[in-house]
Amino acid sequence: MKRLVQAAAVLGVVAMVPLLASAAVSRRWTKPAERLPQVQVALVPGAYIKVDGSPGPHLAARLELALELWRAGRVRAIVASGGFPPGGRSEPQSMLVWLTEHGVPADKIIVDAHGNSTYESVRRAQQVFGIESMIICSQNYTLPRAVVTARWLGLDAWGLADETVLRDHPRTSRRGIVREFGATFKMLYDVIARPTVRTDALVAPLFER
């Protein structure tokens, strides 16, 4: 039993290393909205949507950040990137409806229905839609991994963090933080191995290479 406890402790420390390193490295590129540069797009990674098709609290908070950037003129378009969870609804479609209802023109929204992971969202933005600069809008505990992924792939990437979900939904946030341990190891694999992603697009690129 003692050895098992020691092994678990070692694994816990090992798991913490890439997570803490990611957070430390990304800090210089994660800033308040008013201190962020003008870039091509705001990237909104997909998250849980409700049964009625509307964004869940995590996704709604990310969309609020993207909307703030759009209204401030810091981005020229918004990428709604997500997938179709098994038995679920389209995350990008939910985002498209929310954004248009809040005044963003549909032709300024890039709908990416194959962004099933952070890596796929970022890589497809780069390879399929010709994007070179972005501000990623996500929760504060997932944002470091997303920004480091994009930077490692050569994008001029910045981060805008939501802190409201961690405060208002602590239980789901704790589960998300735990998942970050495994997701950070996956990030290391993705940026080193650079697996191929689908290259088909549902809309034409707004930014030609």
Start-to-end C-alpha separation, the chain: 58
Residue 200 has pLDDT above 80, yes or no: no
The residue count for the chain: 209
State if pTM tops 0.85.
no
As a whole number of angstroms, the distance between CA 137 and CA 160 comes to: 5
Q: Give the helix, strand, coil percentages of the chain, each rounded to 5.
A: 50, 15, 30
pLDDT digits (tens, 9 = 90+) for 41-58: 999 999 889 988 899 999
Q: Could you tell me the residue ranges of all domains in the chain?
A: 36-193
As a whole number of angstroms, the distance between CA 137 and CA 135 comes to: 6
85: confidence class by pLDDT, cuts 50, 70, 90: low
92/9: higher pLDDT:
92
Question: The domain 36-193: what is its CATH number?
Answer: 3.40.50.620
In the numeric block, the tokens 């650079």 are attached to: 194
At residue 186, what is the residue type? K
pLDDT at 209: 42
pLDDT digits (tens, 9 = 90+) for 120-162: 999 999 999 999 999 999 998 889 899 999 999 999 999 999 9
Query: Whole-number mean pLDDT of the chain?
Result: 81
Asked which of 28-32, 89-93, 111-115, 200-204 is least confident by mean pLDDT, the reply is: 200-204
Q: How many CB atoms lie within 10 A of CB 1?
A: 5
